[in-house]
Structure 1
Amino acid sequence: MLRLIISGFNGKMGVEAVKMVIECSDFELVGGYAPHGKATDLAVPVFTDLATIPDHFADVWLDLSVPSAVFANAQAALQKGMRPLIGTTGLTSAQITELQALAQAQHLGGLIVPNFSVAAVLMIQLAQQAAQYLPDVEIIEMHNIKKVDAPSGTAKYTANKIKPDGIVPIHSVRLPGLVAHQEILFGGTGEMLTIRHDSFNRESFMPGVKLALQKISTLDQLVIGLENIL
Structure 2
Amino acid sequence: MIKVVVAGFKGKMGSTATKMVLDNENFTLVGVLDPIVEQKNLSGIPEFSFADVPIFNDKETMVQTIDADVWIDFTIPDVAYENTRFALENGIRPVVGTTGFSEEGLKELTELSLSNKTGGLIAPNFAVGAVLMMQFSAKAARYFPDVEIIELHHDNKLDAPSGTAIKTAEMIFEERGEHRQGHPDEKESLAGARGADYKGMKIHSVRLPGLVAHQQVQFGSIGEGLTIRHDSYDRSSFMTGVALGCNKVMELEKIVYGLENIL
Which residue is equivalent to 1:149? 159
Asked if 1 retains the 8 angstrom alpha-carbon contact of 2:41 and 2:54, the reply is: no
Cα distance between partner residues in 1 of 2:168 and 2:80: 21
CA apart distance, 1:216:
1.5
| Pair 1:44-2:53 in alignment | yes
| Pair 1:116-2:126 in alignment | yes
Aligned residues between the structures:
230
Cα distance between partner residues in 2 of 1:26 and 1:48: 26
The residue type equivalent to 2:156 in the other structure is: K
Which residue is equivalent to 1:60? 70
Asked if 2 retains the 8 angstrom alpha-carbon contact of 1:60 and 1:85, the reply is: yes
Asked if 2 retains the 8 angstrom alpha-carbon contact of 1:70 and 1:90, the reply is: no
What per-residue deviation string (whole Å, max 9, x for no partner) do you get for residues 26-80 of structure 1?
0000011112223345132212222323267310111111122111110111111
The TM-score, its normalising length taken from structure 1, stands at: 0.96
Q: Which structure has the larger Rg?
A: 2
Q: Relative to structure 1, is the Cα distance of residues 41 and 152 closer, same or farther in structure 2, using a 3 angstrom cutoff?
A: farther
| Pair 1:201-2:239 in alignment | no
What per-residue deviation string (whole Å, max 9, x for no partner) do you get for residues 115-148 of structure 1?
0000000001100110000001110000001111
| Pair 1:106-2:116 in alignment | yes
Cα distance between partner residues in 1 of 2:85 and 2:244: 23
The TM-score, its normalising length taken from structure 2, stands at: 0.84
Cα distance between partner residues in 2 of 1:41 and 1:185: 47
Of 124-133 and 53-62, more deviation after overlay is shown by 53-62
Structure 2 residue runs of 5 or longer lacking an equivalent are 43-51, 179-198
The residue type equivalent to 1:170 in the other structure is: I
Structure 1 residue runs of 5 or longer lacking an equivalent are none
CA apart distance, 1:102:
0.8
Q: State the identity %.
A: 50
The residue type equivalent to 1:50 in the other structure is: K
SS in 2 for 1:169: strand
Which residue is equivalent to 1:185? 218
Cα distance between partner residues in 2 of 1:94 and 1:78: 17
